[in-house]
Amino acid sequence: MAQATLTRTVAVRRGRGRRGESLTKVLFVLPAALAMGALFGYPVVKNLVMSLQDYGLRTFFTGEAPFIGLKNYSAMVSDQLFSQAMVNTALFTIGSIAFQFGIGLALALFFRRRFPLGGLLRSLLLLPWLLPLIVSSATWRSILEQDNGILNRTLTGLNLIDQPVPWLNSPSVALIAVIGVNIWIGIPFNVTLLYSGLAEIPEELYEAGQLDGATGWRAFTHITWPNLRAVAGVLLMLGVVYTIKVLDIILGLTGGGPANATQTLATQSYERSFVDFKFGEGAALSNLLIALSFVFAIFYLRSTRRAVDE
Amino acid sequence: MTDSATRRATHTMIGIVILAVMLFPVYWMVNASLQPSGNTLTAGFLPLDPSFAGYRRALSEQGGNLVTSLIIATGTVVLSLAIAAPCAYALSQFRSRWVSIGLLAILISQMIPGIVIANALYTAYERIGLLNSIPGLILANCSNALPFAILILRSFMLSLPPSLVEAARVDGAGLFRAFVAIVLPISRNSLITAGLFSFLFSWSDFLFALTLTTKGGIRPVTLGIYQYLGTQVQNWNAVMATAVLSAIPAVVLLIAAQKYIAAGAVGGAVK
């Protein structure tokens, strides 16, 4: 009898708890939902709206931003720098990722071999990735400086070049130099992710492969790469999404110059909005960036769907 | 000595060479910061006659900016963890179709360029008076820290057995109290990881510092370095000294919290 009453009280208390509980559950998520809405939802909507408005310096005084249809987009496309910015963005993204990934994979495979201090060396390798980008930019600017930078002094000293290379001062070299710096920054991240991917491949696969004569390059193409493809896919898509929007490094190294040789969609968007105060045109450019990221995002979400479902 | 021991020693040597090449710029930053004032780019490979003139200048000109960065980064850690932890718990333990919608939203948020956020926040901040303010920058920096913190914390909390909290609930504790008393202490390591990364993201922020501040007033140290680069590259020792000071958190975190950092890099991206 007492037992039955007790059970009922607990049941009642639980029932009452459940209703209050669904409210509590909402409260767990509410702050994050509000923050995500304010920090991502609102900006996306606001950029879409602004890109259809004449949103300029005047707007900040009068509060007026008349709708002008697609004029910001036609101004964007007809700008003489637009095609160059598109090409530079593509070169910057593809060049950075190809080398970050290639070098990252080589280093990850190297560190996969067990040797003394391997783990320590591998974790110290992360340092370039953790430094503030503007710190890296400043450092590389001193290294790449034309007259007295250590790179040119070393190359001249080794008789590899006759004239100092104007790494950041010549329109024909600057983009290559900027891509080089970005590769340096991205290698550690690629090594870390690829290494963790390699670590998940069971050792038995290699032992079995060895019996079938799969060693060296054959082991790589038949065992390593097929098992690494999921991680590699995520990494490449993340690489595109992160690289396409890079702004700090370019602003710190060249500011888009010399002679606009390193302008990308991101730097152009920044300049329209925060230098020219044409927020409408800046928004149009940044919407193009979102659209491009989104194309790759679809691949990215496909390749991570497995991870999410788990 | 066996063959394999020789080979492993060779590997260690190669590894050290790789690391030396990769970290040379970091060494060069320190070396250049210890040169006497003037055009320090003529520096030799070793700071044989180290001078702290660069640091004196950096501290007097950028000391306040370093403090500003420290306050903003700490604020970002507190705010993003406070918001992320309960959300991560919900996304890992509650059964609801909203869970996958929430995860999708977080993944999509990583595709949104910072300049999009800066464009929109500038116009909003201008209206509500958050330009040139520390709270404004803390909030903006949460756009980097928050999604990452949620993903890191969730991937850990997925491994918590529901029975853990159930036990406390039977004793009459509310869901929120059980979360604070049981889930948070157990999640300490993942909270540290998420906190470290939130700090680094915010400390390294340049885009929001550049766009959401106008003249004078609040100036994080990243912006201070940028302005050095624009105006007085003659004083490389002061620029590099500021760069070294700005790199300290990254170095400290890397040495003190190695395993957390590697875990964070992998967890945030893949999970």
- Chain B contact present for A278, CB below 8 A: no
pLDDT reading at B249 higher than 70? yes
- Chain B contact present for A132, CB below 8 A: yes
Q: Residue A257: what pLDDT?
A: 79
B170 falls within a domain: yes
CATH number, domain at B186?
A: 1.10.3720.10
Residues of B in contact with A32 (CB under 8 A): 83-84, 86-87, 146, 150
Q: Give how many domains chain B has, as a whole number.
A: 1
- The partner residue sitting opposite B270, judged by closest CB among A234, A273, A301, is A234
Least confident of A8-12, A78-82, A264-268, B181-185: A8-12
pLDDT level of residue A304 (50, 70, 90 thresholds): low
B17 falls within a domain: no
pLDDT reading at A97 higher than 90? yes
> What are the distances in angstroms from CA A288 to CA A72, A82, A86, B241?
12, 11, 10, 39
Q: Residue A15: what pLDDT?
A: 47
pLDDT reading at A141 higher than 60? yes
pLDDT level of residue B28 (50, 70, 90 thresholds): very high
Question: What value does the mean pLDDT take over residues B244-260?
Answer: 83
B36 falls within a domain: no
Task: Give the residue numbers spanning the domain of A280.
Answer: 79-309
> What are the distances in angstroms from CA B67 to CA A142, B218, B251?
25, 10, 18
- Chain B contact present for A117, CB below 8 A: yes
pLDDT reading at A305 higher than 90? no
B3 falls within a domain: no
A241 falls within a domain: yes
Q: Residue B23: what pLDDT?
A: 94
Angle between helix A279-309 and helix B114-128 axes, rounded to 10 deg: 120
Interchain proximity B265–A189, CB inside 8 Å = yes
d(CA A108, CA A130): 18
Q: Residue A91: what pLDDT?
A: 96
- The token duo for B168 is 């406390």
> What are the distances in angstroms from CA A1 to CA A5, A9, A10, A15, A80?
6, 12, 14, 21, 88
> What are the distances in angstroms from CA B44 to CA B19, B229, B261?
21, 22, 34
From chain B residues 234-253, the ones with a CB under 8 A of any chain A CB are: 236, 239-240, 242-243, 246-247, 250-251, 253
pLDDT level of residue B47 (50, 70, 90 thresholds): confident
Q: Residue A20: what pLDDT?
A: 66
- Chain A contact present for B46, CB below 8 A: no
Taking CA–CA distances from B196, the nearest residue in chain A reads: A130
Q: Residue B264: what pLDDT?
A: 66
A267 falls within a domain: yes
d(CA A259, CA A267): 14
pLDDT level of residue B175 (50, 70, 90 thresholds): confident
CATH number, domain at A149?
A: 1.10.3720.10
pLDDT reading at A158 higher than 50? yes
Question: What value does the mean pLDDT take over residues B133-159?
Answer: 92
Question: What value does the mean pLDDT take over residues B89-107?
Answer: 87
Task: Spell A246-272 as b/e; 16+ CB within 10 A means b.
Answer: bbbbbbbbbbbbbebbbbbbbbbbbbb
pLDDT reading at B163 higher than 80? yes
Phi, psi of A135 (to 5 degrees): -65, -45
- Chain B contact present for A99, CB below 8 A: no
Q: Residue A3: what pLDDT?
A: 47
Residues of A in contact with B9 (CB under 8 A): 115-116
pLDDT reading at A16 higher than 50? no
- The token duo for B203 is 């400390």
Q: Quote the percentage of chain A above a pLDDT of 70.
A: 90
pLDDT level of residue A7 (50, 70, 90 thresholds): very low
Region label for A80, one of left (φ > 0), alpha (ψ between -120 and 50) or beta (otherwise): alpha
* Helix count and strand count (H, E) for chain A: 16, 0
Choice between A303 and A77, residue whose per-residue pLDDT is larger:
A77
Task: Give the residue numbers spanning the domain of B238.
Answer: 54-270
B38 falls within a domain: no
A159-208 pLDDT, tens per residue?
A: 888 888 889 888 889 999 999 999 999 999 999 899 989 988 888 888 88
A226-276 pLDDT, tens per residue?
A: 888 888 888 888 888 889 989 999 999 998 878 899 999 999 999 999 999
Q: Residue A17: what pLDDT?
A: 52
Question: What value does the mean pLDDT take over residues B251-264?
Answer: 74
Q: Residue A85: what pLDDT?
A: 94
Q: Residue B240: what pLDDT?
A: 92
A74 falls within a domain: no
Question: What value does the mean pLDDT take over residues A67-84?
Answer: 89
pLDDT reading at A13 higher than 60? no
A33 falls within a domain: no
Closest Cα in chain A, distance from residue B218 (Å): 17
Interface confidence (ipTM) of the complex: 0.89
pLDDT reading at B14 higher than 50? yes
- Chain B contact present for A258, CB below 8 A: no
pLDDT reading at A18 higher than 70? no
A182 falls within a domain: yes
Q: Give how many domains chain A has, as a whole number.
A: 1
Q: Residue B270: what pLDDT?
A: 44
